[in-house]
Amino acid sequence: MKISAAISNALPELVAIRRDLHAHPELGLEERRTSAFIAGHLEALGYKVTTGLAKTGVVGTLRNGSSLRSIGIRADIDALPILEETGLDYASKTPGLMHACGHDGHTAMLLGAARALAERKNFDGTVHLIFQPAEENFGGAKIMIDEGLFETFPCDAVFALHNEPNLPFGQFALREGPIGAAVDEARITVHGRGGHGAEPQETADPIVCGASIVMALQTIVSRNIHPMDPTVVTVGAFHAGSASNIIPERAEIVVGIRSFDPAVRDELERRIRMIAEAQAASFGMRATVDYLRSYDATINHKAETDFVRDLAIRLAGADKVVDLARPYMGSEDFAYMLKERPGTYFFLGSRVTGEEKPLHHPGYNFNDDLLPVGAAFWTELAEAYLARP
């Protein structure tokens, strides 16, 4: 992909920005240093900067020409509660927190595009660069929207990308329609009757009951959901007991649920509740289910997906652009922006050696060689979308 001189010249700065962010990770809605860092860079480039949306969100606005058209480009800025194991010189300085998903890279890319757009001024309209907090856990996109993001910063369309170590370097992967799953969580508490491990007959063992619930949950996808409806039910945690001679009072099961179809989503909740309660009753116990609906499915719009595909083919070549045969089961709160405005979300590959660690791994590190690719693409996308008449 051809990289402009504006981006190439700024590459050392982009690497420095990315590594500074990597060394100072912050969790969702706590990205105070990150927010101030971003705002400072945007102000120096001449952007009108607004802070405080969703506590730590930042929007940089740049107007040029007379057109009323506008575009929004989003980068996520939060880190994860992971202890970093990369051993890098710029590794996290905060033990237990890490940029293990590449949001540091996404932010640096968009700041690179911010510089190029400000220097070139080769567009007619308004660019809103949206630096969103709390993508990982707290739905920062929805909070920004609820606080008036698109009323204050009107966008005709919105765009976002995510790096992907499982895709070849520089490959654009996109998809019209569903590209990311809805994600929900169920916390099942089995209420038993504790006692001495030597006298189980005097107890109601929530561990045995919980094990039965775990096994029964496996039948939902295989026996209750149509095989053509992508669905995942994952028991991610089972907490109970403290010693071999103690039967505990309760057990807690934590379940992750992913789907795309709203009707399937409803059926999953119904079946999980039914299984937990009925299985517990069969053991003479009681189960309560705390069911949390989280991010909705990420649904891309056709016109904007076609726009990104055509632009990527023109800039990177047809061999670097693929349409995904199926959506990812991962979730993304950019879904909420796509429910409010037309747009698309896509992936940009970073795999070079095949030894790259996956996202959310303690050894993951964003590939800095991808910075100019992302920065250049965002620049070209904004300029193409807001092309001069």
Establish whether 31 is an annotated binding residue.
no
For this structure, is 135 an active site residue? yes
CA distances from 238 to 147, 210, 382 (A): 37, 8, 47
- 3-state class percentages of the chain: helix first, strand second, coil last, to nearest 5: 35, 30, 35
Measured CA to CA, the distance from residue 322 to residue 336 in angstroms comes to 25
CB 194 within 8 A of CB 249: yes
Measured CA to CA, the distance from residue 332 to residue 328 in angstroms comes to 10
Closest to 283 in 3D by CA, of 199, 201, 209: 209
End-to-end CA distance of the chain: 26
Q: Which bin fits 114, alpha (ψ -120 to 50), beta or left (φ > 0)?
A: alpha
Establish whether 147 is an annotated binding residue.
no
User: Which three-class secondary structure state does DSSP give residue 116?
Assistant: helix
**From 26, 135, 205, 332, active-site residue:** 135
CB 65 within 8 A of CB 123: yes
* Adjacency order of strands within the sheet including 182-191: 232-240, 250-259, 182-191, 286-293
Establish whether 360 is an annotated binding residue.
yes
**From 26, 31, 76, 78, active-site residue:** 78
Establish whether 128 is an annotated binding residue.
no
Measured CA to CA, the distance from residue 202 to residue 254 in angstroms comes to 27
For this structure, is 332 an active site residue? no
> Which residues make beta-bridge pairs with 65?
none
Q: What is the identity of the amino acid at 240? A: A
Annotated binding site: 101, 103, 136, 162, 360
Catalytically active residues, by annotation? 78, 135
Annotated binding site for Mn(2+): 101, 103, 136, 162, 360
